[in-house]
Amino acid sequence: MKIVFSLLLFLVFGLSAFGQTTRATSPKKETIGAAVQAGDFVFGIPADITSKQVKESAEYYTLYFTVEHLQATKQVRITMKENTAKARHIIVRFFVSLGIREIMVNDAVLSVEDYYDQFLK
């Protein structure tokens, strides 16, 4: 019985770890419009994402933007090369390639696609 209980407990905690979603943090809602106009964004990213991961993911999107990993502050700076809605949509792909599926804006959590629809389009 102990083995069954232990196995069940392990399974529950193991699955909950896989169910967690990696989340980025957006600039405040009030400043996103200015960032869109400037084509310059700074997002907070999880501490476990490395500079190597950021660099490798960013290499696929060099036609659209440059990415700088601000490791000390756990942020990425994305600077658009062509500041269009289509080019900004590629930011969604960049986040997904890092395993980021949600973006927190103030106290709201949005999927990366919903974030694009509401703020970057």
**Which residue did the predictor score with more confidence, 7 or 45?**
45
For a pLDDT cut of 90, what percent of the chain falls above it?
Answer: 78
For the sheet containing 65-70, what is the strand order? Answer: 65-70, 75-80, 40-44, 22-25, 100-105, 108-111
* CA distances (Å), origin 48, targets 21, 29, 52, 59, 73: 13, 25, 11, 19, 12
Helix (H, G, I), strand (E, B), or coil: what is residue 9? helix
Helix (H, G, I), strand (E, B), or coil: what is residue 3? helix
pLDDT at 25: 92
Give 3's pLDDT tier (boundaries 50, 70, 90). Answer: low
Q: Are strands 40-44 and 75-80 parallel, antiparallel or unpaired?
A: antiparallel
Neighbouring CB atoms inside 10 A of 69's CB total 19
Q: Mean per-residue pLDDT for 81-108?
A: 96
pLDDT at 2: 57
Residues 67 and 74: their CA atoms lie apart, in Å, by 13
**Tokens at 12, concatenated:** 């529950």
Residues 24 and 112: their CA atoms lie apart, in Å, by 9
Judge whether residue 6 has pLDDT over 90: no
Q: Give the domain ranges of the chain.
A: 22-120
Q: Are strands 100-105 and 22-25 parallel, antiparallel or unpaired?
A: parallel
Judge whether residue 106 has pLDDT over 90: yes
Judge whether residue 12 has pLDDT over 60: no
Judge whether residue 45 has pLDDT over 50: yes
Architecture of domain 22-120: 2-Layer Sandwich (3.30)
Q: Mean per-residue pLDDT for 79-86?
A: 96
